[in-house]
Amino acid sequence: MPGLTSGKIFSKKNNQMFALNMIDSLLKDSDQKKITPDQVVIILDALAGAENPALVNRFPAILAVCIRKGIEINSQALFSRYRDSKLKRRNMEKLLLISTWLLHREDIAVPENLEKTIEPLKSKNRALFSNDTIQLSSGVCVSITNMYETLKKYIFASTDVKTAKAMAVARPSTQLSIHLDWLFSPRQKDLIFKKLNKESLTKTEREYYSRVVRKKLKAIAMSEVREIADTLTGK
């Protein structure tokens, strides 16, 4: 049925054109811009299927826009688009996992419904955080670092100058943070970067840092430990 087929193609192209035309406008974060949850689904779907890595990089920033404006992110509607395509569903799973992780790094509260959606996906996607590059089914490779940089540009663009300066403290690189996740709990990582940023610690934090975190860091810094790691991980 040629007519039906061409209709599907036309509809898909229309959705992508609509989504891509909306993205830059959304990232300018004008409070006058109105968008519906259904339109958000179309935009995220288009980004996940884009062949240009620079477009895919905007995925977490679009989520941040929606959260800031209180627009529902309907993950069920999103995944319902991929009933007939496991590869496209995997793309969306990867992008949602990475994006929510990046949002947490910037202290952006992820909606509860989205947290519930991604929680079961974490255990089967641990390898996703082992390097900086994500391979999508379309053949496109995107960098977690670039996604994070795009997100930070949106955050700083939508923040007043005084607040932006206050946020500009030393932050770990994306790759470093991924590796630290294997070694330290979120609480321990927080204390490490508080110490690096010369922030004051409470009495409880100082005691915990001295009793647990500092000992871990000293063990990692030992030359014998580094030699073992180099031997077992060297090519």
What is the per-residue pLDDT across 95-121, written as a single tens digit (0 to 9) for each? 999 999 998 888 788 888 888 888 888
**What does the pLDDT read at residue 126?**
77
Is pLDDT larger for residue 223 or for residue 60?
Answer: 60
DSSP run (H or E) holding 4:
helix 2-27
pLDDT at 142: 93
Residue 232 and residue 235: Cα distance in Å, rounded?
9
The predicted pLDDT at position 163 comes to 43
Which segment of 18-32, 70-84, 211-225 scores lowest on mean pLDDT? 18-32
DSSP tag of 206: H
Residues contacting residue 104 through CB under 8 Å, at least 6 positions apart: 110
- Categorize the per-residue pLDDT at 226 as very low, low, confident or very high, splitting at 50, 70 and 90: confident
Whole-model pTM?
0.61
Which amino acid is it at 12?
A: K
Mean pLDDT of 146-151: 90
Helix (H, G, I), strand (E, B) or coil at 43: helix
pLDDT tops 80 at residue 213: yes
Res. 73: pLDDT tops 70: yes
Distance, CA of 185 to chain centre: 19
* Predicted pLDDT of residue 22: 63
C-alpha pair distances (Å), 114 with each of 93, 104, 119: 11, 13, 9
